Amino acid sequence: MIKLAVDAMGGDNAPSEIVKGVNLAIKKHEDLEIVLYGDKEQIEKYLEKNDRVSIVHTPYKLDMGEKNPVMAIRGNKELSLVKAFSAVHDKECNGAVTCGPTQCVVVGAHMIVKKLPGMQRVALAPSLPCVGGKSRMICDVGANVELKPEHIEQITLFASTFLKKTRGVENPLVGLLNIGVEPGKGREQDRETFKVLTENPNINFYGNVEPTEILNTPCDLLVNDGFSGNLITKTIEGTAKAIGQLLKENIKSSLGGKIGYLFMRKNLARFKKILSSDEVGGSLLFGVDGVIVKAHGSSKAYAVSRAIELCMEGVNGGYIETMRKYLEEETNTENK
Amino acid sequence: MIKLAVDAMGGDNAPSEIVKGVNLAIKKHEDLEIVLYGDKEQIEKYLEKNDRVSIVHTPYKLDMGEKNPVMAIRGNKELSLVKAFSAVHDKECNGAVTCGPTQCVVVGAHMIVKKLPGMQRVALAPSLPCVGGKSRMICDVGANVELKPEHIEQITLFASTFLKKTRGVENPLVGLLNIGVEPGKGREQDRETFKVLTENPNINFYGNVEPTEILNTPCDLLVNDGFSGNLITKTIEGTAKAIGQLLKENIKSSLGGKIGYLFMRKNLARFKKILSSDEVGGSLLFGVDGVIVKAHGSSKAYAVSRAIELCMEGVNGGYIETMRKYLEEETNTENK
């Protein structure tokens, strides 16, 4: 049995869509148990009774526009996010899912779940839309605006371990997101990161990857700092959105288009589903001592259920224990 | 009459597609005169005779994989790119078009065409695919991997002047590409750039723009450093390419899809055309004392003809003279 903590009050559609997402996931997975943290009365409005779901009541929640996460989290131990994360830290739950604001999730995980000993930075890692039957992970997408080459190296090891343990990717191929394929391309930090990733025997480094190949690269994992990663994932989202609109307008603009649509509407629906960020389920927060999933603030029920499944996948894979051992060995070697 | 210099030997498809592009443009525009720089014998194979096209022969051209642009350009004044740029510098031509390698174009423009007095940096500025009937410009996309806030400020003024003079955008609305909309978002340099753009009375600053809105923003111009801009434009290209593939695969996967396609193939062709980077015609190189257009290395004839039209637009607009005066006044004010 996997027991997950779900922050019922995080996100633009809390608690209704969060709870509905829990309803979906719990019906689908018999080995799943969920504890919802938030306003009991509001949660019960949407919750379908199930022995495997319980509620821990708290009237406090983070504001989606919270400007000072550190103060907010330090100041109130009763926040739904803090309680959900504490359940992970205290080993009452195996992982946590939240749609709360990114910086609050990062800060909260740092302060409550805490980094694995030896880990220098945490990173947000979502999967990209699955194109050509291949799933690709990208990190960091915004836990840190800046990262040093050695931070990217450690995060790469973490993400590679995740892909090996949970997705059966034997020797994850890693690409450095950059503005050109040649080794000398990019900023000074990119040239240094290129060197560090090349020299690490535990990283299967492919080389630089230009974002023209972002959804076609043979790589399993794409890395760079959180500013670049955030711009890239948001550009994918923005482009997909605009293309969807363009396609719709174009189809509607003629009779032929409208008739054609009747024939291929199933195809277009499937196409839309592949590109939908709902499918991805959110980002894993790598580097902390617990499986934490941060889903989009605008998540609806289905996206929440996918985020819960992503968290289950992480718990089942046991990547954190592998990474803990690796970091311990590394520290021991350094101390010798 | 507008007289443009075209580097016939730059790009992956030189000289055939370059010359064919010239054929297209010269037929379309009666006020256009073109001088082609490159291998006369090869050019003549593809050139349709026209009184308004002439060839200046040179057997030398830059290698598309040139690693040391400065040495290559300094070492050979007979390179087709160098000759084309020299024609602009010597006022024999009003502007130049090349599909040569980006860094060679930037270095060549610096060394031969030269920056406008008072200009600190140059920038590459393409237009984004036109969505919702709106054209948007983005810069820098790779002339500089790093830019200081005051460089971005000056480049923004340059691009705004271009939009006013050539495209009749009265008061170009400028957005700073960033990972969040709030003023405090991003790296230290982004917060500083935000401040600088806010305080400049000659810039109509909108605020931060997240790339989720890259093709939907009300802004006319989006700015940041060349590393970020390059990642973003390449991500748009990569996403559009992958989405096109996905759509095609999806349509082909069922009979309904195939029949639907027959009805809407015109709509889909129009849709594809809007997203095609060929339409955009390339990037203007802002900051130098001449209208320089750098088109994609992989440009085919149509894309080359669009690049020539972009160069004509720049020449007609006369934005360089406006910017020259502005920079002179600025220097005078500073010296007082």
Residue from A309, A285, A314 nearest A102 by CA: A285
Mutation pick from A68, A263, A270, A277 vs chain B, by most beta carbons of B within 10 Å, is A263
pLDDT at residue number B176: 98
The angle at the Cα of A253, spanning A250 to A258, to the nearest 5 degrees, equals 90
Q: Is A146 helix (H, G, I), strand (E, B) or coil?
A: coil
**Residues of chain B found within 8 Å of residue A132, distances taken between Cβ atoms:** 245
Q: Do A234 and B179 touch (CB under 8 A)?
A: yes
Q: Do B261 and A264 touch (CB under 8 A)?
A: yes
Residue from B334, B312, B289 nearest B90 by CA: B289
Judge whether residue B276 has pLDDT over 90.
Answer: no
Contact status, residue A103 vs residue A65, Cβ threshold 8 Å: no
Closest approach of A148 to chain B, Cα-based (Å): 14
Q: Do B187 and A228 touch (CB under 8 A)?
A: no
Which two structure tokens, joined as six digits, stand for B171?
A: 């008061």
Span A123-152, mean pLDDT? 94
Pairing state between β A2-7 and A32-38: parallel
**pLDDT, tens digit, for every residue of A85-98?**
999 999 999 999 99
CB atoms near residue A249 (< 10 Å): 17
CB atoms near residue B269 (< 10 Å): 10
Q: Do B239 and A240 touch (CB under 8 A)?
A: yes
Span A234-248, mean pLDDT? 90
Judge whether residue A18 has pLDDT over 70.
Answer: yes
Judge whether residue A331 has pLDDT over 90.
Answer: no
pLDDT at residue number B257: 81
Q: Is B9 helix (H, G, I), strand (E, B) or coil?
A: coil
Closest approach of A216 to chain B, Cα-based (Å): 7
Q: In which residue are the tokens 């040495």 written?
A: B71
Q: List the single residue in B132, B250, B266 with the smallest CB-CB distance to A271.
A: B250
Judge whether residue B236 has pLDDT over 80.
Answer: yes
Q: Do B241 and A266 touch (CB under 8 A)?
A: no
For A74, phi then psi, to 5°, come to -65, -35
pLDDT at residue number A172: 97
CB atoms near residue A99 (< 10 Å): 30
Judge whether residue B301 has pLDDT over 70.
Answer: yes
Q: Do B257 and A264 touch (CB under 8 A)?
A: yes
pLDDT at residue number B33: 98
**pLDDT, tens digit, for every residue of A248-266?**
888 888 888 888 888 878 8
Contact status, residue B226 vs residue B144, Cβ threshold 8 Å: yes
Pairing state between β A291-294 and B221-223: unpaired
Beta bridge partners of A124: A285
pLDDT at residue number A274: 78
**Which residues, 6+ apart, have CB-to-CB distance to B169 below 8 Å?**
B163, B220
Contact status, residue A148 vs residue A189, Cβ threshold 8 Å: yes
Q: Do B264 and A266 touch (CB under 8 A)?
A: no
pLDDT at residue number A336: 63
**Residues of chain B found within 8 Å of residue A212, distances taken between Cβ atoms:** 234-235, 237-238, 241
Q: What does the DSSP assignment read for B148-185?
A: -HHHHHHHHHHHHHHHHHHH--SS-EEEEE-SSSSTT-
Q: Which residue of A lies nearest to B276 if distances are taken between CA atoms?
A: A243
Judge whether residue A214 has pLDDT over 90.
Answer: yes
Position with higher pLDDT, A85 vs A279: A85
Confidence of residue A247 (pLDDT cuts 50, 70, 90): confident
Position with higher pLDDT, A191 vs A331: A191
Judge whether residue B335 has pLDDT over 80.
Answer: no
Span A155-177, mean pLDDT? 96
Judge whether residue B336 has pLDDT over 70.
Answer: no
Residue from A216, A179, A212 nearest B298 by CA: A212
Closest approach of A57 to chain B, Cα-based (Å): 32
Confidence of residue B281 (pLDDT cuts 50, 70, 90): confident
Which two structure tokens, joined as six digits, stand for B336?
A: 């007082």
**Residues of chain A found within 8 Å of residue B238, distances taken between Cβ atoms:** 210-216
Farthest-apart Cα atoms in chain B, separation:
75
Mutation pick from A106, A147, A264 vs chain B, by most beta carbons of B within 10 Å, is A264
> What percentage of chain B has pLDDT greater than the value 90?
80
Contact status, residue B248 vs residue B257, Cβ threshold 8 Å: no
Confidence of residue A280 (pLDDT cuts 50, 70, 90): confident
**Residues of chain B found within 8 Å of residue A145, distances taken between Cβ atoms:** 179, 186-187
**Residues of chain A found within 8 Å of residue B257, distances taken between Cβ atoms:** 263-264, 266-267
Span A292-310, mean pLDDT? 96
Peptide bond into A140 cis (omega under 30): yes
Under DSSP, the state recorded for A48 is P
**Residues of chain B found within 8 Å of residue A193, distances taken between Cβ atoms:** none
Closest approach of A318 to chain B, Cα-based (Å): 32
Q: List the single residue in A226, A235, A251 with the smallest CB-CB distance to B211.
A: A235
Report for A44-48, A259-263, B245-249: range of highest mean pLDDT: A44-48
Span A193-197, mean pLDDT? 98
Question: What gap in Å lies between CA A291 and CA A287, rounded to an integer?
Answer: 9
**Residues of chain A found within 8 Å of residue B186, distances taken between Cβ atoms:** 145, 227
Q: Do B267 and A275 touch (CB under 8 A)?
A: no
Q: Do A234 and B145 touch (CB under 8 A)?
A: no
Span B122-126, mean pLDDT? 97
Question: What gap in Å lies between CA A189 and CA A203, rounded to an integer?
Answer: 18
All domains in chain B, ordered by first residue:
2-119+287-335 (3.40.718.10), 123-277 (3.40.718.10)
Average pLDDT, chain A: 93
**Residues of chain A found within 8 Å of residue B131, distances taken between Cβ atoms:** 242, 245-246
Q: Do B267 and A256 touch (CB under 8 A)?
A: yes
Q: What is the crossing angle of helices A188-199 and A149-167, to 10°?
A: 50
